[in-house]
Structure 1
C-alpha cells in the first residue's frame, strides 16, 4: 500500500489483517493525495485538511523521493488545528503526544519515513502488530512498464507471498488471473463504517485516524480495527466452481 499520512481507520484494519505490510513507494508520486494530507473535524462545520507541505511535490519524482518542506512548521500547524478540541475531545492529549512523537523522532525529511512513523506510532498506541518492509529498500528487479494492477502480483511473487489483501474499493484494477497463475490468492477487504461520538460537533465519516483517536478510547478503536474488516477471496473465473 502507498504510504498515507495518518490514514482512516480502515487502513489500520487492513494492517491488522495481514502478516506483512509492504510500503509501496517506488512509483510516480501523485500530488494532492492522502500521502501528504488528511482530514479532521472543522470547529465550525464539516471537516478541514491537515497537510504536510513538500519541498518537491511533483509527478517527476518517485514517492520515495518526496521530501517534507519543514517538519517543525508542519507539526505546529497540525497541532494548532487539533488544539480546537483540547477541552472537548476526551483523548486529545494522547493524540497530541502521538503527533509530537512522530514529528520529533523523524530522522530526516522523507515523507515516506514520516508516514511510516505515523502508522507505527498509532499501531503501538493501539497494541496492533505492524510488521512492515519498505519497497524501495528491497531492491527488487521488477519488469518495466507495469500497469497499476500488475505491481502487486509481481511483488508478491518475488517476495514468496501466497496471498494478497487489498481494499475492495480498488478491486477493479486487478485481474485475478495475474495472481492465480502465480499461485497467489487475491483477497478483498471491506471495512464497515465506525461511528463515534464527537459531541458537541456533528459526526463526519472517514476522517483521519487522529480524529477517531481523539474521541474514542484505544480499547474501543483497537476492537473496531481487529473485528471491523471482512475479507473475501476474489476467484479467477477459470478456477471457479
Structure 2
C-alpha cells in the first residue's frame, strides 16, 4: 500500500463498507463524501444481506429478489473475498432476468451491460467492478481498494478492524453510514487519531440503483445523492 504524505494524508477521508449488489442510491454517498473507498471483503459473508442480492420490480411492479448464483460454502467461516460462483452463473442470471422488465433496457448502458453479464472473475471482483461502473455513471470516481489486500490480522475485530484499515491507508477521517451510530465509539477513533463522521439519514428512493439507472436520468439520481450527502460530526 502506497503511503500518502503531508497535507494529503492529514486530510484523507475514507469510507469502508461491504460490497453490495447494486445497492440503493444512498450507499453511493460514501463515494461522494470520501476521498477513498475501501471494500470491506475480509469479513464474514452475511447470507441475509445485500452483498449477493437486491430487489427489482417485476412486471406487476412488485419487488422480487435478483440473486447472484454463489457456490455453497461454510455458513460461518466464509469471508466475502472467499466467495465463488456456482456453475453456469450466466445462464442462471439470464433466467432470472426474464422477471424484471427494467433489465430489457440494459443495452442502453453498454459498460454496465457488459459488467453485469461478466462472470469470468470472482464474486468480489464482480461486485466491485459493478460498483465502479455505477460510480462512474454518477461521476463519483474514487480510488477503491480491497480490505483483504491489506493483510489485517484476524486479532482485529469489528470496530478495531475498521480503525486498523483506516490507519493502514493513512486516513484521518472515517465516514460511515448512519446505521453505524450505535456501533462505533467516537473516543476509540479519537484515540487512534481519527475523526468519526456519519452521513445523515437518507431522504430519497431505496430502490436498487440498477433499476433506477435503467428507468431514470442519471443526473436526477446524482442530484438526489448530492442533496443527501450531509455529514454529521460526532463529538467525543
Q: TM-score, normalised by structure 1?
A: 0.82
Q: 1:77 to 1:159 in 2, by over 3 A?
A: same
How far does residue 158 in structure 1 lie from its aligned partner after superposition?
A: 2.5
Count of residues in correspondence between the two structures = 218
* Match of residue 68 from structure 2: 52
Q: 1:9 to 1:78 in 2, by over 3 A?
A: farther
Gaps of 5+ in 2: 1-16
* Match of residue 193 from structure 2: 183
1:27-38 matches, cutoff 5 A? 27-38=43-54
Q: In the aligned structure 2, how far is the partner of 1:106 from the partner of 1:226?
A: 32
How far does residue 129 in structure 1 lie from its aligned partner after superposition?
A: 1.0
* Match of residue 177 from structure 2: 167
Contact map agreement 2:38 2:146 (CA 8 A) in 1: yes
Gaps of 5+ in 1: 196-205, 237-241
Aligned-CA RMSD value: 2.1
Q: 1:4 to 1:186 in 2, by over 3 A?
A: same
1:67-146 matches, cutoff 5 A? 67-69=84-86, 70-83=88-101, 86=104, 93-94=107-108, 97=110, 99-108=112-121, 110-140=122-152, 142=153, 144=155, 146=157
How far does residue 37 in structure 1 lie from its aligned partner after superposition?
A: 0.2
How far does residue 176 in structure 1 lie from its aligned partner after superposition?
A: 0.8
Contact map agreement 1:13 1:191 (CA 8 A) in 2: no
1:187-226 matches, cutoff 5 A? 187-195=197-205, 206-226=206-226
Q: In the aligned structure 1, how far is the partner of 2:170 from the partner of 2:154?
A: 17
1:116-170 Cα shifts (integer Å, max 9, x gaps): 0110111122222132001112223x36152x22221121122211000011112
Q: In the aligned structure 1, how far is the partner of 2:51 from the partner of 2:198?
A: 22
Contact map agreement 1:189 1:231 (CA 8 A) in 2: yes
- Secondary structure of 1:60's aligned partner: coil
* Match of residue 203 from structure 1: none
How far does residue 114 in structure 1 lie from its aligned partner after superposition?
A: 0.8
* Match of residue 227 from structure 2: 227
User: Could you tell which deviates more after superposition, 75-84 or 54-63?
Assistant: 75-84
Q: 1:84 to 1:220 in 2, by over 3 A?
A: closer
Contact map agreement 2:69 2:93 (CA 8 A) in 1: no
